[in-house]
Amino acid sequence: MRTVYVNGEYLPETEAKVSIFDRAFLMADGVYEVTSVLGGKLIDFDGHARRLARSLAELDMKAPCTEDELLAIHRELVARNEITDGLVYLQVTRGSAGDRDFAFPDPETTEPTLVLFTQNKPGLADNPAAKAGIKVISIEDIRWGRRDIKTVQLLYPSMAKMAAKKAGCDDAWFVEDGKVTEGSSNNAYIVKGGKIITRELSTDILHGITRAAVLRCAKEAQMEVEERSFSIDEAKEADEAFVTSASSFVMPVVEVDGAKVGTGTPGPVAARLREIYLEESLKAAV
Ligand code: PLP
């Protein structure tokens, strides 16, 4: 039985409650973050806290507490649930005004809802998929136009994941105007001639915290990085492909729409980046 956090209280998961009028339940009016835990410490916490603040500001949503308080709650949950390796999920919603209405409630009288819970994932960094690589399909990107805000509107990404499963694959890459935007829950990359290529930041994609850290690591290791969009055909012709996210770190992609990428096995650039990223982020973990 997990201990979870809801609006100032640490409770057994079966006793935690949120109103049926909560804006996230009725309108998907909420934002979230997922921070990984390795060796009992939080990876890239600052990056996640900063992106949360940005998501809240972009949606005119009140922050539930300070960054220091958020860090304390994360640490308390990790300790109470004895998490060595795993994830902390955090969600902030616009709260409940006690009824359903499209208009935002008055932030003076309606407090945001803050929920956090842990997911225990022993051996998170030793996921066998990182050795085998994953297979992706492409799917049209029909999500809304503010993908830079990490909202809980995850129905289409869930549908994309189901389409991938149905096709015997692991994940889906979204394609818009002939170019890959990102993965269903990760940022997408290809490697060609030693160059790491990933879509530039805009409102079209989530500004991945792992993406920022991995690109920093790549540059420090004198690897060449090009931030531009690429097509599925280009991915099929690439030497390597991979995705990044807080929960998968750097994950090699070995097949795109049934075509082998490179040799069809995880490539050296992805393997090296995964190694450097894990090493660097463990050093900086809090
Ligand atoms: N893109 C999307 C659509 C995501 O949902 C995620 C993570 O959930 C990412 C990218 C990767 O972001 P991060 O590295 O911050 O986990």
Closest-CA residue, ligand 1 atom 3, reads: 185
Residue 201: other Cβ atoms inside 10 A: 15
Of the candidates 241, 157, 239, 163, the one whose C-alpha atom is nearest the C-alpha of residue 199 is 241
Average pLDDT, the chain: 98
Task: Please give the C-alpha separations between residue 165 and each of 136, 259, 279, in angstroms, as whole numbers.
Answer: 9, 17, 32
Of the candidates 209, 208, 187, 188, the one whose C-alpha atom is nearest the C-alpha of residue 284 is 209
CB distance 123 to 85 below 8 Å: yes
| Ligand 1 pocket residues where CB is under 6 Å | 34, 182, 185-187, 206, 208-211, 244-246
What positions carry a catalytic annotation? Answer: 150
Distance 106 CA to ligand 1 centre (A): 30
Distance 259 CA to ligand 1 centre (A): 24
Q: Rounded CA gap, 187 and 147, in Å?
A: 12
Report pLDDT digits (tens) over 82-103.
999 999 999 999 999 999 999 9
Distance 248 CA to ligand 1 centre (A): 10
Radius of gyration of the chain (CA): 19
Distance 160 CA to ligand 1 centre (A): 15
Distance 98 CA to ligand 1 centre (A): 32
Give the number of the atom of ligand 1 that is nearest the alpha carbon of residue 210.
14
Task: Write the CB contacts of 100 (distance below 8 Å, at least 6 apart in sequence).
Answer: 21, 26
Range 133-155 average pLDDT: 98
pLDDT band at residue 5 under the 50/70/90 scheme: very high
pTM: 0.97
pLDDT at 194: 95
**Residue 188 three-state SS:** strand
Closest-CA residue, ligand 1 atom 5, reads: 185
Of the candidates 256, 152, 246, the one whose C-alpha atom is nearest the C-alpha of residue 207 is 246
Give the number of the atom of ligand 1 that is nearest the alpha carbon of residue 157.
3
Give the number of the atom of ligand 1 that is nearest the alpha carbon of residue 51.
15
pLDDT at 146: 98
Determine the distance from the C-alpha atom of residue 139 to the mean position of all C-alpha atoms in its chain, rounded to a whole number. Answer: 19
**Residue 3 three-state SS:** strand
Closest-CA residue, ligand 1 atom 1, reads: 186
Closest-CA residue, ligand 1 atom 7, reads: 185
Q: Rounded CA gap, 251 and 129, in Å?
A: 8
What are the structure tokens assigned to 38, written together? 């390795």
Report pLDDT digits (tens) over 227-268.
999 999 999 999 999 999 999 999 999 999 999 999 999 999
Give the number of the atom of ligand 1 that is nearest the alpha carbon of residue 184.
3
First to last CA, the chain: 25
pLDDT band at residue 25 under the 50/70/90 scheme: very high
**Residue 87 three-state SS:** strand
